[in-house]
Structure 1
Amino acid sequence: MGGYTLSGVIKIALDAMGGDNAPASVIDGADIAKAKSPHIEILFVGDETVIRPLLAKSKYLKDADVTHTEFAVSSKETASQAVRRGRESSMWLAIAEVAAKRADAIVSAGNTGALMAMAKLQLRTMPGITRPAIAGFFPTEHDPMCMLDLGANLECDEENLVQFALMGQAFYLSLMGKDNPTVGLLNVGEEEQKGHEYLRLAAQELSNPDLGVNYRGFVEGSDLVKGSVDIVVTDGFSGNIALKTAEGVAGLFALMLRRSFRASVFARIGYLFARKSLKNFQTKMDPRRYNGAVFLGLNGIAVKSHGGTDSLGFSNAIDVAANLVDHGFIPDVSAAIEKAGLIREQRKIVND
């Protein structure tokens, strides 16, 4: 997704101990990312006694910096437990590097709730942002589609959704390089009168041309795979269900396809003829290509990698972080939110 505009060295702090396959997948993934983008500088945060031997086997990171800590956040800890107990953890210390401006971004495959809580505490929300959101990409019939929120906020109001749309627009532009991406609100139907009141109010605000959002109306769940819009905005409850459903359906489809081609001798022969097309299909649908959800709305770039991903998937999460730094994502979001706030104030004055 996207491409780099080389603008100098980008330093990325990695929670080396976060994720099911850490630290090996983190280090291998960083090595892949470094090979593609030499302007990335990596700081590993974690147990140096484990990390250093793995770095010695790497191709591009033998002399990388390591901040040592023996503590790591468990996947079973709640966000509050992690914050109370984890001030010396690899996750907390990696975020602290961004908060102190010693790193440009942080990437972790660790506990999502803990990462969000720690990032909010240390990085703080941007001025004008009421709630941060989690954004990620889905494959569609056309270009990848961005969706937010994917689980940070189970309940939202119209102001939250408008801010999500503005942040999602800047996020999509940074990673995909597409000007004026289209935006839709997830709803139970496309008709204007459908859905909760806050959805209809958000639709009214997003329809304001002064806001600068290319709003295309409501979209239904069946539209998600069609790529009818570039960005789908929803609350975290619906977004997380959509994400998990999509992951489950993709897994089921892959399983059924494998079973079908193993069903008989003729099916195996058919596989030989279809192998190239199936390989292309597998590449497009590979979840590792879309790995790297971003916490939008914070005063710093924090990227969440899937906990069970491998080195290739983790390298893509690093790519996402580097692209956002490269393309000035934070200033773009700040400008969009400030503009929206001014428009809202002006409308309030007129109405009063």
Structure 2
Amino acid sequence: MASSPRIAIDAMGGDIGPAVIVGGMSRARRANRTLRFELFGDEAEIAPELERYKGLASAVTVHHTTESIAATEKPSQAIRRAKGTSMGMAINAVKDGHADAALSAGNTGALMAIAKLALRTMPGIDRPALAALLPTLGDTDLVMLDLGANTECDAQNLVQFSVMGAAYARTVLEIDRPRVKLLNIGTEELKGTGELKEAAALLRDAADYLPLQFDGFTEGDKLSRGDVDVVVTDGFSGNIALKTAEGTARFVTDLLRRAFTSSLRSKAGFALSRPALHMLKVHLDPNNHNGAVFLGLNGLVVKSHGGANPKGVANAIGVAARMIANDITRKIGDDLDEFRAHAFANGDAA
């Protein structure tokens, strides 16, 4: 566990670039004075932003490059020229041991491809997965994975995602035995694909010896209820579910805004409802849940939303810092070793 977490950051990723990134770094360091940063990007753009936060400069080492990965760039193109880009250099800092985690708000597909090639997958993991936190009506957020890294998954992939997601929930949500469910078209055991049914059978057995509870299946309309801590699915379904949830949140907030401005009486109602509406806004604000994580790599990589504001970037940095402090890679490795040991003892493939 690093006493002073060192995080490598792609300063050129995201919709706005260094201004938001450096602002988020400043907010994160005010909350955690032990943080140190390796910042990669165009020094001419970075320097004026660092000047705005006098207390931050002593915790930052700037590595100059004018090369960056474009939002429209294909992963195959990004891989070929990754070495000299701000994104590729940040990931290589983790690979070379100069940083404990990497963070970028840039192109998700490129980030995944570069990170997978540079860091490789952990022993026992066939494919890494993208995990993120979603708001719920419960006391804590929900961990959901995979959110787009793998469009097709077999039963072993889903079990591996479950083990990784549970370790992530123990780290970020501080839940000793997270409740895990598989996303399905129904909660009955007979519903779903063969892969889902096989994964469910494996997880029911694994729950006897791993630090997780397996609670069967859940449906898309129950994701926000707060009765599950980790929801596991393939990247195709997961990405659709995530985008649908985000769109629904925007629809609700836009509908309320329109309703409260439709008449004088509505405007008066808005004034009375302001505290409740503020709570709703805070709960649905994606910046309060920012920081998706690539799990299953030999190194930590965090994806910030491209449109995140400084508060969102600070939250993503906080996610990285908690994973470093809690040594999540070791936790995932230990759980996978335990799973494989039981599988081989029972004569199953792992």
TM-score, with structure 1 as normaliser: 0.96
Q: Which runs of 4+ in 1 moved over 2 A?
A: 210-213
Give the CA deviation at 1:284: 1.5
In the other structure, the counterpart of 1:40 is 35
In the other structure, the counterpart of 2:108 is 112
Measure the CA separation in 1 of the matches of 2:142 and 2:312: 18
Task: Give CA deviations for 1:168-207 in whole Å, capped at 9, x if unaligned.
Answer: 0000110011110100000000110100001000000000
In the other structure, the counterpart of 1:334 is 333
In the other structure, the counterpart of 2:185 is 188
Q: Where does 1:279-318 land on structure 2 (aligned, <5 Å)?
A: 279-318=278-317
Give the residue type in structure 2 aligned to 1:173: R
Structure 1, 50-59 or 147-156: larger mean CA deviation: 50-59
Measure the CA separation in 2 of the matches of 1:281 and 1:76: 33
Give the CA deviation at 1:307: 0.7
In the other structure, the counterpart of 1:3 is none
In the other structure, the counterpart of 1:73 is 69
Q: Where does 1:114-153 land on structure 2 (aligned, <5 Å)?
A: 114-142=110-138, 143-153=140-150
1:102 aligns with 2:102: no
5+ residue gaps in structure 1?
Answer: 1-5
Measure the CA separation in 2 of the matches of 1:43 and 1:281: 36
In the other structure, the counterpart of 2:8 is 13
1:165 aligns with 2:162: yes
In the other structure, the counterpart of 1:61 is 56
Structure 1 residues 223 and 301: alpha-carbon distance in aligned structure 2, compared to 1, 3 A threshold: same
Aligned length: 345
1:93 aligns with 2:92: no
Give the CA deviation at 1:211: 4.1
CA contact (8 A) 1:11 1:41 kept: yes
Give the CA deviation at 1:212: 4.2
5+ residue gaps in structure 2?
Answer: none
Q: Where does 1:218-233 land on structure 2 (aligned, <5 Å)?
A: 218-233=217-232
CA contact (8 A) 2:184 2:192 kept: yes
CA contact (8 A) 1:35 1:60 kept: no
Task: Give CA deviations for 1:84-131 in whole Å, capped at 9, x if unaligned.
Answer: 123200000000100011100001000001000110111111011011
Give the CA deviation at 1:72: 0.3
SS at match of 2:241: helix
Task: Give CA deviations for 1:308-348 in whole Å, capped at 9, x if unaligned.
Answer: 11111111100000000011111100001111111121222
SS at match of 2:277: helix
Measure the CA separation in 2 of the matches of 1:222 and 1:141: 13
Give the CA deviation at 1:62: 2.3
In the other structure, the counterpart of 1:25 is 20
Aligned-residue RMSD, C-alpha: 1.2
